[in-house]
Amino acid sequence: MTTPEEVDLGDPVAAVVETGPDAYDETPYRAFRFPETHPTRLAALARLHGLAAPDPNCARVLEFGCAGGSNLAAMARTLPTAEFHGIDLSATQIEQGRRQAIAAGLGNLRLDVADILDVDFGDARYDYMIAHGVFSWVPDPVRERLFELIRRHLAPTGIAYVSYNTLPGWSVNEAVAEMMRLEAGELADTEGRLHAARATLETFRALFDGAHGPHTELVRYELDHIGGKDAVVFLHDELEATSDPCYFLQFVEWAAEHDLRQVTDAALPTLWPNALPQQARQALARRGLSWLKAQQYLDYLQWRRFRRSVLCHAEVALDELPNPTRLDGLYVQTRLRPSGPISVAPGMPIKYRVDGLGAAGSGDVMQVTDPLIQAFMHRLWATPHHFQAFRETLDATMKDAGNAASAPGREAVLRDWVMTNLARGWMDIAATPREVSGTRLAP
């Protein structure tokens, strides 16, 4: 096996900076991957809004704070002709990631130790720039610089993805985490800090034993959520000195100061008005709110705690809402599976169950009576592990459905149905015909 030093990790674009060991050197983060950051997903979302995002197959992709590069490695495997570059402050994590990349034969993945604050990318332009789980955990100057780097190095029609903890939803988590930090923050050794924090959590849990009421449920949910975290994630997410959630509109304004704008959110289940009940959509429309402002109101009402903003250059022309006619040229896949025998009699209802362990809506059942939609679903779930070309599937469906497809407006009904199910998180889209990854987007 070759050593990391012997491997060609690409052109020396990033300056490798000297940094001292940090918390992530002592305890490396868990190796996660985030399908919602995949360029094929980001490109598809952008295209629905009218932005011709770069071809993922030959894209240059950068991830800030990539830890050991697990997310990049997963994407580099599925897009072998694209180039992936990750930077992280922690030399230990980068070293681990490099070894794994070499072992996996990933010649299109390069990992560098670098600080967002002073990294120099030269003239490099990236088609996709990702910062997952970084923005809310770093001080303001780092966030400021993150936006500067995105503005300077994002290709003209490129896409950036930045996730962050949002208010008001994160506030309960923050309150619990602050109390644990008060108890554990002063302790020098990691084991001691973990022990003190867990003990604090148990004390709080006991306070709520047998109690009821909306506030109790809210706090109990948070205590269970935090208590359920694995020790490493718990250590970094809850006991980290910097944790700074913000409101959605604050983030949007901050991005705008750097000439960046929000295209959409990468979490399909909370994406568009389609996810809302009809009455709620009408109520919003009556208020005449922009979708941007409406999203902030929804964050307040739904107590939203996390966002995945998809950004582009401010001067790029965009549709505020996604356009169903732009599904043409994209690929779709469904998590809906028939939950019983399929009746051959046209018009008889077919029940579908939402598949996917732990994912949004798992186990939910929906009933479909429209033969056109039944025919479409029949084609989609015939190859459940692949994304299928929407336009071709639609054309074939229109033929399969015969009379059920002949009335005017039927195609639009089907397109709307797909958009609604994308927004529910029961379908997924991609800009290339990728395979379905094992990991699904959590709510």
Ligand X SMILES: C[S@@+](CC[C@H](N)C(=O)[O-])C[C@H]1O[C@@H](n2cnc3c(N)ncnc32)[C@H](O)[C@@H]1O
Q: How far is CA 34 from CA 132, 181, 394, 422, 435, in A?
A: 8, 28, 29, 18, 15
- Measured between its terminal Cα atoms, the distance across the chain in Å is 40
Is residue 355 a contact point for ligand X (CB under 6 A)? no
Is residue 307 a contact point for ligand X (CB under 6 A)? no
Closest CB to ligand X among residues 161, 390: 161
Q: How far is CA 143 from CA 146, 233, 251, in A?
A: 5, 21, 10
Closest CB to ligand X among residues 42, 138: 138
Backbone phi, psi, residue 359, to 5°: -85, 170
How far, in Å, CA of 167 to CA of 163, rounded? 13
- At its nearest, how many Å lie between ligand X and the CB of residue 114? 6
Angle at 330 between CA 261 and CA 430, to 5 degrees: 70
Closest CB to ligand X among residues 45, 87: 87
Which residue of 7, 10, 32, 269 would you call a contact of ligand X, by CB under 6 A? Answer: 32
- At its nearest, how many Å lie between ligand X and the CB of residue 24? 4
- Which span (62-70, 178-186, 278-286, 362-370) binds ligand X, by CB under 6 A? 62-70
- Which span (130-138, 355-363, 365-373, 425-433) binds ligand X, by CB under 6 A? 130-138
Is residue 36 a contact point for ligand X (CB under 6 A)? no
Which residue of 142, 260, 398, 414 would you call a contact of ligand X, by CB under 6 A? Answer: 142
Closest CB to ligand X among residues 243, 333: 243
- Which span (8-16, 86-94, 179-187, 214-222) binds ligand X, by CB under 6 A? 86-94
User: x/- string (CB under 6 A) for ligand X, residues 107-126?
Assistant: --------xxx---------
Is residue 90 a contact point for ligand X (CB under 6 A)? yes
How far, in Å, CA of 309 to CA of 42, rounded? 10
- At its nearest, how many Å lie between ligand X and the CB of residue 181? 16
Helix H or strand E segment including 99: helix 91-103
Total of chain residues touching ligand X, rule CB under 6 A? 21
Q: Residue 204, exposed/middle/buried by CB under 10 A (0-12, 13-18, 19+)? A: middle
3-state secondary structure of 12: coil
- At its nearest, how many Å lie between ligand X and the CB of residue 64? 6
Which residue of 134, 155, 332, 359 would you call a contact of ligand X, by CB under 6 A? Answer: 134
Which residue of 67, 350, 380, 404 would you call a contact of ligand X, by CB under 6 A? Answer: 67
Is residue 166 a contact point for ligand X (CB under 6 A)? no
Angle at 30 between CA 24 and CA 34, to 5 degrees: 120
Is residue 372 a contact point for ligand X (CB under 6 A)? no
Is residue 144 a contact point for ligand X (CB under 6 A)? no
How far, in Å, CA of 328 to CA of 392, rounded? 9
Q: How far is CA 430 from CA 208, 243, 313, 394, in A?
A: 44, 33, 22, 16
Instruction: Spell out where 166-215 has E strands.
Output: none
Which residue of 29, 84, 272, 390 would you call a contact of ligand X, by CB under 6 A? Answer: 29
3-state secondary structure of 354: strand
| Residue with token string 């400021």 | 144
- At its nearest, how many Å lie between ligand X and the CB of residue 73? 12
Is residue 88 a contact point for ligand X (CB under 6 A)? yes
Backbone phi, psi, residue 356, to 5°: 115, 105
Closest CB to ligand X among residues 134, 252: 134
Is residue 17 a contact point for ligand X (CB under 6 A)? no
Which tokens is 259 given? 């000439």
Q: DSSP letter string over 306-330? A: EEEEEEEETTS---SS--GGGGTT-
- At its nearest, how many Å lie between ligand X and the CB of residue 60? 18
- Which span (87-95, 244-252, 325-333, 379-387) binds ligand X, by CB under 6 A? 87-95
Closest CB to ligand X among residues 144, 400: 144
Q: List, as own/partner pairs, every contact residues 5-10 make where C-beta atoms lie below 8 angstroms and the sequence separation is at least 24, other chains included.
A: 7/98, 7/101, 7/102, 7/107, 8/107, 9/98, 9/109, 9/110, 9/111, 9/112, 10/83, 10/85, 10/110
Instruction: Spell out where 96-179 has E strands.
Output: 109-113, 126-131, 154-165
- At its nearest, how many Å lie between ligand X and the CB of residue 379? 36
Is residue 322 a contact point for ligand X (CB under 6 A)? no
Is residue 243 a contact point for ligand X (CB under 6 A)? no
| Residues whose CB is less than 8 angstroms from the CB of residue 366 and which lie 6 or more positions away in sequence, other chains included | 336, 351, 352, 354, 426
Which residue of 13, 48, 89, 197 would you call a contact of ligand X, by CB under 6 A? Answer: 89
Q: Which of residues 213-242 bind ligand X (CB under 6 A)?
A: 236
Q: Report the interface residues with ligand X, using CB under 6 A.
A: 24, 29, 32, 65-67, 87-90, 93, 115-117, 132-134, 137-138, 142, 236
